[in-house]
Amino acid sequence: MMGAMSARADAEPGSGIVRLDLVGTATFVVSAVVSAIVFTNAWRIVGAIIALILFAIGVATFLWSYWTAVQRSRTDNIAVAQLYFLSSGSTPRRVKLTMNLALLVQVIIGLGTAIARSTTDGRAGSTLAFGILVPMFGLGLNGLWCSKFGQFAPRRRPGDTDTTADTTDDTTADRHNSVDVHTSDDEMEQNSPHG
């Protein structure tokens, strides 16, 4: 039974990204909770190091996902909420629930442990505050999954006809014909009318 579930998970696109998200979140939860309970110098350092590593991975995957999404946006209509919060049907329900739940756990544990231990040795501030950076890990992986495997509506180009409307009146057609549409194959030139 477990082998069948593992084989099914491996067959899904982006299953490695989902698995990394779950492993990273579990590692963070264990290190942050143990650090908050024990609160020895050694555990505070371990908690801070794990939080910073996950943050660094999150920043890298966020930038990677942004780059990939920008490339896809030439042909696909991608919204930021779809990309980083997996909304609007861009992502299968199971992946969306799993990854957004991991992100929510990262936020709750990061804030909870930082608030629970807001001082260190009587001084304001705590190494557990680094945990509030960890949700960047979840956002980066959400974006990476969606930018690589998400489903988006195609981008409409100037001059494309609306296939959803069966009829158009003459005033609508006149308005569309009177708009000065600048088209160019040069990427920089296509944005020149915008300033």
Torsion of CA 74, 75, 81, 85, to 10 degrees: -110
Residue 70 included in any domain:
yes
Domain membership flag for residue 174: no
Is 46 within a domain? yes
In this structure, is residue 57 part of a structural domain?
yes
Under DSSP, is residue 90 helix (H, G, I), strand (E, B) or coil? Answer: coil
Domain around 87: 14-155
Q: In the prediction, which pLDDT does 179 show?
A: 45
Q: Is the Cβ–Cβ distance between 151 and 158 less than 8 Å?
A: no
pLDDT along the chain (195 residues), means of 10: 50 92 98 93 94 98 97 94 93 96 98 87 79 98 97 85 53 46 52 53
pLDDT number for residue 17: 98
Q: Which two tokens stand for residue 147?
A: 């930018």
pLDDT of residue 173: 45
> Could you tell me the pTM of the whole model?
0.75
The count of domains in the chain is 1
In a domain, 140, yes or no: yes
Instruction: Compute the mean pLDDT over every residue in the chain, rounded to the nearest whole number.
Output: 83
Let me know if residue 114 belongs to a domain.
yes
Residue 63 in any domain: the answer is yes
Distance CA 39, CA 106 (A): 19
> Based on the number of CB atoms within 10 Å of its own CB, is 73 exposed (0-12), middle (13-18) or buried (19 or more)?
middle
- What is the model's pLDDT at position 183? 52
Distance CA 14, CA 145 (A): 6
In a domain, 64, yes or no: yes
What span, in angstroms and rounded, lies between the C-alpha atoms of 38 and 54?
Answer: 21
Contacts with 92 (C-beta within 8 Å, 6 or more apart), sequence order: 12
